[in-house]
Structure 1
Amino acid sequence: MKLQFLGPLYAHPGPVASVCLDTSRDQDDPDRAIDLRWHKLRRTLLAHEADEATVGALDAAVGTDREVAGRHGRALFAAHGSLVLAERLPDPPDRDSARYGMLPDALPLALQRGPDIPYAAVAIRRVHLAEAAGGEEELQLDFETGRWPMSRVAPGAHVHRRIPVDGWPEEAERLLAELVAAVSAAGIELVVLAGDPWSVNSLVRSAPKKLLGNFVKLKDGRYRRPEPGRALMEEELGLLFEGRLSDHDRHQLDAYLGQHARHPEYVEGLAATVAAFQRGQARTLILNRPVRMSRHLWVGAAPTQLALSGEDLSAFGLNYYWEEPAPGAALIRAAAGTQAELIAVPEDVLPLEDGVAVLLRYTVPE
């Protein structure tokens, strides 16, 4: 998963206020519940010497996602009196958190965006019109693209069309052209189909060969209609994508396993990962889920300035550095700042020393 979306967080120096907040709407009086949780975090920030202007910028951002139904959360970052980044979270955080420090605590946000699978969802309903409308049938098409799981709370482009049944062949041809373009332009990996069996089957039969490998038909074609602000076929997509990585990330993991087979000491563990970022040699940061890193790192102003001790940074000639109590914040800054990517894998699938590893850009050092 690429990390360009984190760029605004590192465009200005800290300190930064970082907030992860449950903003779910599936409860009685959600606005009051969110307000109570936020004010607890607000007091935490002020107790840790966050300035009033920065906390005020967060005040204005809390509650601006009321249009999203169901369970979800928010990640908010502010510095020097201004909101720097505000993102929706597909799931509420395990616990609300607020931190004020030199580095933004961006790892929880980054982890929630994975596995970042580009897809398209196509749902076709057959509707019987009322007698006043002629009593005939029509097809209602919903077509949506997105990147899972962020599309759950930030759906992509959505198209809704109503088509006479006898006009479906022409509409299917048009839809197939749009899908081919989406696969080419956005790297769509899966096209998930649901709804009226006749329409879905005829669409598949008419598809070009290069598109057939992308199709997945939902069992029995049934799907739940989405709530406001949620992805089309959200529940069904969740089952389909559970435990899945993007094709891009699977290829990178294969490359990591090849490097690990030859030189494990250069790619696995916290020391190897820090050394790779110091050299700007990390192509991808690989983390175990759940993240259990507890060892502090030492960091300087630049993304590549991180080490296991202050003495190491001093040996590099740095005069300004500090002990960073959140190692994940230091590692995700190093990854974003060196254009590295992020992959999170369950610990029981690929256990890593210290819960961390790295895919190198180039050959291992001599």
Structure 2
Amino acid sequence: MKLQFLDPLYARPGPIASVYLDTSRDLDDADRAVELRWHDLRKSLLAHDADQATVDALAGAVGTGREVAGRHGQAVFAAHGRLVLAECLPEPPARESALYGMLPDTLSLALQHTPDIPYAVVILHRVHVPEHTAGHGGPDEELEIDCESGRWPTSRVAPGAHSHRRIPVDGWPQEVERLVGQLVTGMGEAGTEMVVLAGDPWAVNSLMRAAPSRLHGALVKLKDGQHRRRETGRALLEEELAILLDGRLRDRDRHQVDTFLAQRARHPEYVEGLAATVAALQRGQAQTLILSRPVRLDRHLWVGAAPVHLALTGEELSAFGLHYYWEEPAPGAALIRAAAGTQADLISVPDEELPLEDGVAVVLRYTGS
């Protein structure tokens, strides 16, 4: 997964306030619950010397995703009295937090973006037209077409482009050609890796027959064609997508994991463990940062002003000639900044699938031998 969406958080030097809180709407008085959570986090920020203007900037954004139904969370960042970034999270944070420090606490936000799989959903349903309408020369049956794109799992609470239209059933042969062309374009431009089809069997099957061979491997036909009401602010077919996509890696990420395994077989000391990871990020040599889930980083790192100013000890940064550096208590934040600043990708893999020393590893852009 690319980390460029984090760039605004690194555009200006800290200090910066980072807040994660549960903003779910599945309670009777959700606004009151969010207000109480924010009250406690606000007190914590002020107690840790956050300035009032920055706290006020956060307050203006906290709980603003009221249009999103169900359980979810929010990540909010502000610095120097200005809001920098606010995002709705597909899951409430495992632990609510409010930190004020030189680096933004981006680990949880980045992990909730993974695996960032681009997909599309197409739902096709026949709709009977009322007799009084059909009786005036109109069709007695129409086809309802819903299309939506997204990137899983963030699309659960931030769906992508959505279209809805109805056409006469006899106009479907022409419409299916246009729709297939749209899906093929999505594979080229957005990198769509899965197209989920649901609804009327005749329409779905005819779309599958019309699809060119390059689309065939991406098409997934759902057996359940029931038309359910869509929840406000949520992805189409969210439950079905969770079954299909949770625990899956992007195609590119699977290749990256294979590359890591090959590199580890030759030179494990260069690619696995915290020391190897820090060394690779220092040199801008990491193509991909790999983190185990759950993340278990428990050692402080030392950092300086630049993303590559990263070390296991302050003495190491001093030996590089740095005069300004500090001990960073959030090692995940330091690793994510270094990865983003050196254009490295991020992959998170369940620990039981890929056990890693220290829970961290890298794929090297090149090797020294």
The equivalent residue for 1:335 is 339
Rounded Cα–Cα distance in structure 2 between residues aligned with 1:166 and 1:320:
71
Query: In the alignment, is the contact (CA less than 8 A) between 1:76 and 1:85 conserved in 2?
Result: yes
Which stretch of structure 1 is more off in the superposition, 134-143 or 200-209? 134-143
2:195 aligned with 1:195, yes or no?
no
Separation (CA, whole Å) in 2 of partners of 1:210 and 1:33: 49
CA contact 1:155–1:229 (8 Å) conserved in 2: yes
Match of 1:321 in 2: 325
Residue identity in the other structure for 1:88: C
Per-residue CA distance 1:336-362 (angstroms, 9 max, x = gap): 011101000000000000000001111
Matched, 1:232 2:224: no
CA separation in 2, counterparts of 1:344 and 1:209? 31
Choose from 158, 168, 173 the match for 1:154: 158
Q: Say if 2:51 is the partner of 1:47.
A: no
Deviates more, 1:131-140 or 1:73-82: 131-140
Q: Are residues 1:170 and 2:203 paired?
A: no
Alignment correspondent of 2:268: 264
**Higher mean displacement: 308-317 or 45-54:** 308-317
Q: Would you say 1:36 and 2:40 are equivalent positions?
A: no
In the superposition, the TM-score normalised over structure 1's length comes to 0.98
Secondary structure of the structure 1 residue equivalent to 2:253:
helix
Question: Could you tell me which of 334, 352, 357 is aligned with 1:353?
Answer: 357
Instruction: Give 1:128 shift.
Output: 1.6
Assess if the C-alpha contact under 8 Å between 1:224 and 1:235 holds in 2.
no
- Corresponding residue number in structure 1 for 2:84: 84
Contact 1:153-1:229 within 8 A present in 2 as well: yes
1:217 is the counterpart of 2:221: yes
Write out per-residue CA displacement over residues 49-81 of structure 1, whole angstroms, 9 at most, x where no aligned residue: 000000000011112111111111111100000
Q: What SS does the corresponding residue of 1:32 show, helix, strand or coil?
A: helix
Pick the aligned partner of 1:285 from 282, 289, 295.
289
Deviation at 1:225, TM superposition (A): 3.0
Q: Greater CA deviation, 299-308 or 131-140?
A: 131-140
**RMSD of the TM alignment (CA)?**
1.0
Count residues in correspondence: 365
1:52-71, aligned counterparts within 5 Å? Answer: 52-71=52-71
2:224 is paired with a residue whose SS is helix
Q: Distance in 2 between matches of 1:78 and 1:60?
A: 11
Unpaired segments of 5 or more residues in structure 1? none
2: CA distance, partners of 1:333 / 1:183: 30
Q: Per the alignment, in what secondary structure is the counterpart of residue 221 of structure 1? A: coil
> Once the two structures are aligned, what percentage of the paired residues are identical?
73
Residues 1:144 and 2:148 aligned together: yes
With 243-252 and 211-220 compared, the bigger mean Cα shift is at 211-220
Q: Deviations over 1:272-328 (max 9, x none)?
A: 000001111011100000001100001111101111111111111111110001100
3-state secondary structure, aligned to 2:187:
helix
- Matched position secondary structure for 1:78: strand
Quote the offset at 1:222 in angstroms.
Answer: 3.5
Per the alignment, in what secondary structure is the counterpart of residue 95 of structure 2? coil
